[in-house]
Structure 1
Amino acid sequence: MTDIPTAGAPQPAPVPAPGSLPSVTTAPAPPASRDCPACGTANPADSTFCEACGADLVVAARASDGAHPPADVSDGTVLASATPQTAPAGEESPLDVGWTGAVPSSATAPATDDLTCHACGQGRIVDGYCDHCGTPPPNPRDHLVDSPTAWVGGVCDIGRRHARNEDAMSLSATDPPGSRAVLVVCDGVSMATDSHIASLAAAKAARAVLDQPFPKGVGTPDSWASGAARALTSAVTRANEAVAASVVEDVPNPPSCTFAAAVVEDDVVVAGNVGDSRVYWLPDAADEPARQLGRDDSFAQEQMTAGVPRLEAETGPHAHSITRWLGKDAPEDLTPHLTTLTPTPGWLMVCSDGLWNYCSEAEALRTLLHDAAARLDDATPTTLASALVDFANEQGGRDNITVALARLAGRGSSTTTTEATAAAAPVEGDPTDG
């Protein structure tokens, strides 16, 4: 009995006739390569992504054969995807999809900071030295620029011969020009131990005292001058104590330094010094003499007092031997040489011997300053101080160099009234003047 096939039931395979071979359906041979529809690059036939651009080859292949019509873009199917990345470009690994081999990345220059070596620019400062070239970092004291206000500024420089800067400078000022400023310069004694510590300690201690306004007393010029004298004397005392305390061990040559300071208060100047650091007044008017305020405590000064010409005294074998200084072994009398004056338009300068070694006379120093100002587009206290430091270095820079300047009664500085000028006339020659 013959079975009647039911609709939908599987049909039996046809039986070949006797003596004939069964027909064999041969599948089409796979292509030798698979071209990328996005960039055209030939890829191995079994590739799923283009090795050149990363496009999806499987989706593209299905879209190109007859059995898998291309999908509508609206259904969300992506025919050519963007290059997949699992790491920044140029830093991929073989495990990343789309990796095409090692490619040098565009390295970004390392950011410089305080630990980057300034000598080679490549190493880092480790334990006080560059781990690449072995150079120690620059000492901030080798070249210090300070400008607390536009009318006060200074430069402290190591010079060209010394291994370290034993000068120190400490400045402060209020914004109204001519209102109040403190300029302190201390020069460490080269033959003493750790004089760079001594000078910095002295400068900071003195400025802390001088930052306080001077007592007015009963309001007369004499009472103000007396208060200023007491303040400067107290500043020297505190500076001397700071120097003595800067090194606790007993050494044959304890730390020591010189002292020079000038204070501006309401357009009146009081200056004082111990040793051979100096204060100069350099007025603009050619008919007003430039002068050194105070005098040196040195063998050269004693020779000049005895009649020896300045050039001979200041260039002799003991020219820089000082007779008073700050430190544990300082002389008992440390009363500073004091001068008080009411300035006209001009420049107030406090400096170490690193500058006046090459230009000692006040008139010559005024000419040097005015010539430097004429060459500058903007002659500010800082730019002028830098120019004078450059001058000293050009002459040989045999010592550390410090120049602090204040611009008075000019460039916006308040002008002293006639009454105030008469009241605060110079008091040089009174008991406070050394």
Structure 2
Amino acid sequence: MTDLPPTAPSVPGAPGVPDVPGTPTAHGLPDAPAPEAAAADGAAPTGERHCPSCGTANPADATFCEACGTELTASMLGTGLPQASAPEPAVAVAATPQTAPAGEESPLDVGWTGAVPSAPVGGPGAEPDDTCPTCHEGRIVDGWCDRCGSPPPNPRDHFAEAPASWVAGLCDIGRRHSRNEDAMSLSADEAPGSRAVIVVCDGVSMATDSHIASLAAAQAARAVLDQPFPRGAGTPEAWAVTAGRALTAAVTRANEAVTAAVVDDVPNPPSCTFVAAVVEDGVVVTGNVGDSRAYWLPDADAEPARQLGEDDSFAQEQMAAGVPRAEAETGPHAHSITRWLGRDAPEDLTPHLTTLTALTNTPGWLLVCSDGLWNYRSEAEGLRALLRESAARVGDAPADLARALVDFANEQGGRDNITVALARLAGQGSTVNDGATTGAPEEGDPIDG
């Protein structure tokens, strides 16, 4: 997650807030503790508290959930968060727990505001695994292990999506935070390189219910980007223009979803960063707001690995002013972001757009991630080397590589939530260059929305 200062951030230009050049005014300081706040399970009578683990309504003076024993905090008092709504029926975004149709349930549907995978875990009709993950011997009965008494983990702490054989992602809580405030939403056609949408959002620490913000944003954006884009003149460049416009619209819709997921008068309203990539027939268009990132990591050493887009952060401003990357990204305000999604977001949310063309025969990896990964390997060339090292150990299946990269971040300390999503382009072969290249990818001009 992107962290907040101990006090609520101020937005430059707001009444009474001076604009001070070079001063970080937005979200972010490393390792700020995240407050324990929970999403309500639908509307509740005033004075009740909903349990963040099981969703049970408890009396207003309850300290612990009567159903599962989870500690309740004062921030849970009230009517809860309303269901987010979208102005167009085609984009459905909810900030309340969701239940899949009968026979298609997923563990991620139960009692939490979580991401439902593109396909139910285990396939349609699969029986849920109620084995205790702590002792591996007992069964989870009424929310507790009947042998060791442990509750099951929150499914949001660690979940994977693999909508196609060439696209996969993993979202993990890391080792230092009590809640996973990252979110992702993926979709893909089965034919490698044909079409995919990858969205990753990183909740801002110490903002109220930023785990809801990231999830709402990711789902809303993917719903926009899942729609087919007009091809115009039928050229890759024409498609890229419409994809850029769709990404801009997706940011707008994601911001609306985050705003709808907030109760009035919340001091630090839910907020998150945003990065998304759309792939279609060898063309990639990415867009980002904040400091979540996309990278192109080609197999061929002759082709440079590169970050797609640029961060909206104090560190990025320092690098633009000539400060070395290592110094800028490890300074006291390195994770202070200057743009984000949410009710208190800056007015201009136009994403940084990048287009890659001529990738039909250029093998490589598209990596989309939160700063929980790139904190430990920021430069594109370093990430390419890490990906190759991981592939040598676990193979080149996207799901296995995503897991290896998450493991790497946790081994380095896991001080943040970690989200890694990968798409294998130009086929699913070895990560070693097969010689069928068409030259280095080209970056198109920014696309106006």
TM-score (norm 1): 0.68
Q: Which moved more, 1:403-412 or 1:191-200?
A: 403-412
Question: Aligned match of 2:445 in 416, 426, 429?
Answer: 429
Cα displacement string for residues 272-305 of structure 1 (whole angstroms, at most 9, x for unaligned residues): 1000000000000000000000000000000000
State the 1:216 CA deviation. 1.0
Matching of residues 389-404 of structure 1 within 5 Å? 389-404=406-421
Distance 1:123 1:183 in 2: 35
Q: Is the 8 A contact 1:159 1:399 kept in 2?
A: yes
**Equivalent residue, structure 2, for 1:146:** 161
Query: Is 1:236 the counterpart of 2:251 in the alignment?
Result: yes
State the 1:124 CA deviation. 4.2
**Equivalent residue, structure 1, for 2:212:** 197
State the 1:167 CA deviation. 0.5
Distance 1:386 1:115 in 2: 23
Distance 1:131 1:113 in 2: 17
Q: Secondary structure at the match of 2:428?
A: coil
Question: Aligned match of 2:202 in 182, 187, 199?
Answer: 187
Distance 2:398 2:272 in 1: 25
Amino acid at match of 2:306: R
Q: Which moved more, 1:266-275 or 1:215-224?
A: 215-224
Q: Is the 8 A contact 2:236 2:283 kept in 1?
A: no
Cα displacement string for residues 193-241 of structure 1 (whole angstroms, at most 9, x for unaligned residues): 1111110111111000101122112324443222111100011111111
**Equivalent residue, structure 1, for 2:192:** 177
Cα 1:125–1:330 shift into 2, 3 Å:
farther
Bigger CA radius of gyration: 1
Give the percent of matched residue pairs that are identical in Structure 1 and Structure 2.
76
Cα 1:384–1:124 shift into 2, 3 Å:
closer
Question: Aligned match of 1:213 in 211, 218, 228?
Answer: 228
Q: Is the 8 A contact 2:353 2:447 kept in 1?
A: no
**Equivalent residue, structure 2, for 1:384:** 401
**Equivalent residue, structure 1, for 2:173:** 158
Question: Aligned match of 1:323 in 328, 332, 338?
Answer: 338
State the 1:306 CA deviation. 0.5
**Equivalent residue, structure 2, for 1:372:** 390
Distance 1:388 1:305 in 2: 28
Q: Is the 8 A contact 2:195 2:279 kept in 1?
A: yes
Distance 2:283 2:139 in 1: 52
Distance 1:163 1:136 in 2: 15
Structure 1 segments unaligned to the other structure (5+ residues): 1-111, 414-420
Q: Secondary structure at the match of 2:193?
A: coil
Distance 2:128 2:365 in 1: 38
Cα 1:253–1:272 shift into 2, 3 Å:
same
Distance 1:431 1:260 in 2: 16
Distance 1:312 1:200 in 2: 32
Q: Is the 8 A contact 1:123 1:133 kept in 2?
A: no
Question: Aligned match of 2:290 in 275, 297, 308?
Answer: 275
State the 1:381 CA deviation. 0.5
Distance 1:209 1:329 in 2: 23
State the 1:431 CA deviation. 4.8
**Equivalent residue, structure 2, for 1:287:** 302
Aligned residues: 312
Cα 1:219–1:186 shift into 2, 3 Å:
same
State the 1:248 CA deviation. 2.6
Question: Aligned match of 1:353 in 360, 364, 371?
Answer: 371
Q: Which one has more relative contact order, counting CA pairs under 8 Å at least 6 apart?
A: 2
Q: Is the 8 A contact 1:259 1:326 kept in 2?
A: yes
Q: Is the 8 A contact 1:125 1:136 kept in 2?
A: no
**Equivalent residue, structure 2, for 1:300:** 315
Runs in 1 of length 4+ with deviation above 6 angstroms?
none
Q: Which moved more, 1:236-245 or 1:403-412?
A: 403-412
Amino acid at match of 1:287: A
RMSD: 2.2
**Equivalent residue, structure 1, for 2:96:** none
Q: Secondary structure at the match of 1:203?
A: helix
Matching of residues 93-112 of structure 1 within 5 Å? none
**Equivalent residue, structure 1, for 2:61:** none
State the 1:428 CA deviation. 2.9
Distance 1:336 1:405 in 2: 21
Q: Is the 8 A contact 2:183 2:211 kept in 1?
A: yes
State the 1:145 CA deviation. 1.4
Cα 1:198–1:151 shift into 2, 3 Å:
same
Cα displacement string for residues 325-374 of structure 1 (whole angstroms, at most 9, x for unaligned residues): 01111111111100111222100000000000000000011000011101
Distance 1:350 1:134 in 2: 38
Amino acid at match of 2:408: F
State the 1:427 CA deviation. 4.4
Q: Which moved more, 1:365-374 or 1:245-254?
A: 245-254
Amino acid at match of 1:371: E
Distance 1:386 1:363 in 2: 20
Structure 2 segments unaligned to the other structure (5+ residues): 1-126, 431-437
Cα displacement string for residues 390-420 of structure 1 (whole angstroms, at most 9, x for unaligned residues): 000000000000100000013269xxxxxxx
Query: Is 1:333 the counterpart of 2:348 in the alignment?
Result: yes
